[in-house]
Amino acid sequence: MNSKERVLTAFASGVPDRVPVNYEANPGIDKRLKEHFKLKADDREGLLQALGVDFRGVWSDYKGPKLHKDFPERGVVSDNRGVRRRWVQNESGGYWDYCEFPLKDATEQEVAGWPLPDPDNFDYSGVKEKCAKLKEYAVGIGSPGFGDIINTNGMLRGMEQTLIDFMTDEPAGLLLAKRRVDGELEIVRRMIEASKGGIDFVWMGEDLGTQIAPMISLELYRRNIKPLHKRLVDMAKSFNIPVMVHTCGSSSWAYEDFIEMGVKVVDTLQPEAANMAPEYLKKKFGGRLAFHGCISTAGPVSFGTAEQTREYCRHTLEVMMPGGGYCFAPTHQLQDNSPVENVLAMYDTARKYGKY
């Protein structure tokens, strides 16, 4: 099988020739891996090939105006949704911290007028060519942060206000979520059409749990989150394209609803969280959902030895591989405190023991 066939077989809960492999990482460990393989700092493709990654992603270039200003005097940058971030350095690297929450106290009228990216301002003309260059791989659009409701609303209104919004049916928060989904759905629809069959899956996200329990009730999910998710899933299904949903924390409580909607694959699968152990997921949902993830970025890969990493990854493969439907990947982006030798051991184990 080539990478595309391998991934799509696994996404259909089938048995490929070997377990498909994916990669995401924070900048620090990404830089060190490229240095290890003697690659240039911007050579992502070279690194993906060196690690044997089966997945690739494409997106349309934004050609419109900058919608929200930066605040260099405070070290704050804004993206085109108005999300504000500040870089926070730490001993092993750094990360972007969401801050200031510009719509925290916004009214429904203010949310209605808040600038968001216009689907007309994206260039879809190059999508087909991008996909054609990656035709041997599984080509996805979206990301763990695409199509999510709680997280991005939280980046603009703050997490506390966002949860209050959904619990109380606050019009401003509900409108913000709807406006974002309207735009993202249209962008993805146009990309799929422009790809002429080159897009293999849609990747979206929604963090639904803490480490110990659900973050919201099932009733609240069904009332205010699931209808928006369903719009994105239905759009992808209309093109016969599978959807993978990234769900952090204890999220398996929502998986029956995912299955009912037609979601094919669940991503992240933090094994430390409640009801997220590989054994539990495989037994309860195997054959009805495919799995992508399970390799903890807070476990041996970050804090153990290379040998402990190999043992851990091999055990996960032994649990998740039988019957197919598993893609080997970190639960989140690999963290900057991960030793290079551990990451190399992780991917070497997938190559060595991931064959059927």
Question: In the numeric block, which tokens belong to residue 137?
Answer: 């791989």
pTM for the structure as a whole: 0.96
Residue 25: pLDDT band (50, 70, 90) is very high
Residue labelled with tokens 């054609």: 132
Q: Who contacts 248 (Cβ-Cβ below 8 Å, separation ≥6)?
A: 207, 208, 209, 268, 270, 332
Look at residue 158 in the predicted model and tell me its pLDDT.
Answer: 98
Question: In the numeric block, which tokens belong to residue 188?
Answer: 């993805």
Q: Which residues of 44-57 are buried (b: 16+ CB within 10 A; e: fewer)?
A: eeebbebbbbbbbe
Half-sphere exposure of 69 (CA within 13 A, CB side): 4
Look at residue 226 in the predicted model and tell me its pLDDT.
Answer: 98
In tens, the pLDDT along 179-218 reads 999 999 999 999 999 999 999 999 999 999 999 999 999 9
Please tell me the distance from the alpha carbon of residue 266 to that of residue 12, in angstroms, as a whole number: 12
In the chain, domain spans: 3-65+103-353
Look at residue 97 in the predicted model and tell me its pLDDT.
Answer: 96
Q: H or E stretch including 291? A: strand 290-295
Question: In the numeric block, which tokens belong to residue 254?
Answer: 């929502």
In tens, the pLDDT along 247-285 reads 999 999 999 999 999 999 999 999 999 999 999 999 999
Beta partners for residue 94, in sequence order? 89
Q: What is the DSSP string of 124-169?
A: -TTHHHHHHHTTTSEEEEE-TTSS-SHHHHHHHH-HHHHHHHHHHT
Residue 123: pLDDT band (50, 70, 90) is very high
Mean pLDDT over the full length of the chain: 97
Average pLDDT over residues 309-338: 97
Give the single-character DSSP code of 355.
Answer: B
Look at residue 284 in the predicted model and tell me its pLDDT.
Answer: 98
Q: Provide φ and ψ at 210, rounded to 5°.
A: -90, -175
Q: Provide φ and ψ at 85, rounded to 5°.
A: -135, 155
Please tell me the distance from the alpha carbon of residue 124 to that of residue 143, in angstroms, as a whole number: 18
Q: How far is CA 122 from CA 61, 63, 113, 117, 125, in A?
A: 6, 6, 20, 9, 9
Q: Who contacts 189 (Cβ-Cβ below 8 Å, separation ≥6)?
A: 235
The correct CATH number of 3-65+103-353 out of 3.20.20.210, 3.20.20.110, 3.40.30.10, 3.40.50.10190 is: 3.20.20.210
Look at residue 140 in the predicted model and tell me its pLDDT.
Answer: 98
